[in-house]
A = this chain, B = another copy of it.
C-alpha cells in the first residue's frame, strides 16, 4: 500500500519532533507502601542519598525509565521490586501531584501509587548504593498525622494515602493484602480494626466477609493453639492488583 500524502506529512512532523526543544516538567512515580508489622500499620520510607533533600526521609520512587518501562504500572512495580523484592502486591494508582515549586529542580509532577504488601514477604534492600529503607509505624488506633516531616510534598501525599486507605477499607477487601497468603478470619478482623482504629463486631464482620465472596476456605488448613483451631483462608486467585468492591452493597 502506498504511503499517502497525509501519512508522509505526519512522518515528517514526527521526524522533526524533539522533546528537548520544549520546556517540560519533570515526571516521576512515587509509592506509598503499607504493611502491618507488630500490630501496627506501617509505611515504607527511604532516606534520600542524593540531592535535593539529601539525607531527608521520603517516599520511595524515582523517574520513569523510558527505555525499560512500558507503562506507569511497570515503573511502579519496578520501584517496588527494587525496594522490597515484592513482585505481586495489591497496587493501584492514588493520584497525581504536580506544581511549580514542589521540587527545587523545577516544575515537577508525580504519579503516586498505593501498595499493600505482607511484611513477611519483604526483604528490604540495604547497603551498596541503595538508600536506607525503614518501616515507619503510623501510631496505633487514634493515630493522627505521621510525626516525621518528609521531603518534597510527601507528607501531604502520605496523609492522603492514609485517608484513602481508611475510606476504602470500609467497603472493600483491601486489608487481606496486608496479610501473608494464609490467614484466619480473626487475624483479618484485627487488621481491619488496626486500620479503622475501632473494634468491629465479630458476627457481622464474618457475615460481610463471607458474603463478599472474595476469600477461599483452605480445606484442611488450620491454625492450631491452646484453643479451638481456626480455619485458614486465602484471597481468591485472580483478584490481585485488580479493582473490586466485594463488600459494597451497590
A residues within 8 Å of B by Cβ?
6, 9-10, 13-14, 17, 19-20, 22-27, 51-52, 54, 63-64, 66-67, 69-72, 93, 95-101, 104-107, 109, 111, 167, 170, 250
19 contacts between A and B (CB under 8 A): A10-B104, A13-B51, A13-B52, A14-B105, A17-B105, A19-B105, A19-B106, A20-B20, A24-B26, A64-B109, A66-B106, A70-B100, A71-B98, A71-B100, A72-B98, A96-B96, A96-B111, A109-B111, A170-B250
A51 touches B10 (CB 8 A): yes
The reply to whether A24 and B66 form a contact with Cβ atoms under 8 Å apart is: yes
CA distance A98 to B22 in the complex (A): 19
- Closest B residue to A66 by CB, please name it: B107
CA distance A22 to B108 in the complex (A): 14
The answer to whether A14 and B104 touch across the interface, beta carbons within 8 angstroms, is: yes
Known contacts A10-B51, A98-B111, A106-B66; decide if A24 and B23 are in contact (CB<8 Å). Answer: no
> What B residues does A167 contact at CB under 8 A?
250
A247 CB, nearest partner CB in chain B, Å: 12
How distant is the Cα of A96 from the Cα of B114 in the complex, in angstroms? 13
Beta-carbon contact of B70 and A96 below 8 Å: no
Q: A105-B17, A109-B27 are in contact. Are A52 and B100 (CB under 8 A)?
A: no
Q: Chain B: which residue is nearest A69 at the CB level? A: B100
B contact residues around A93 at 8 Å (CB): 95-96
Query: Which 3 pairs show the lowest CB-CB distances between chains A and B?
Result: A71-B99, A13-B51, A72-B98
Q: Find the B residue at minimum CB distance from A10.
A: B51
Q: How far is the CA of A104 from the CA of B16 in the complex (A)?
A: 12
Shortest beta-carbon distance from A51 to chain B in Å: 4
A98 to B52 Cα, complex, angstroms: 25
Given contacts A52-B14, A72-B98, A98-B72, contact A107 B24 (CB under 8 A): no
Complex Cα distance, B63 from A12, in Å, reads 21
User: Is A72 touching B51 in the complex (CB atoms < 8 A)?
Assistant: no
Could you tell me if A67 and B17 are in contact, using CB atoms closer than 8 angstroms?
no
* Chain B hits for A19, CB < 8 A: 24, 26, 105-106
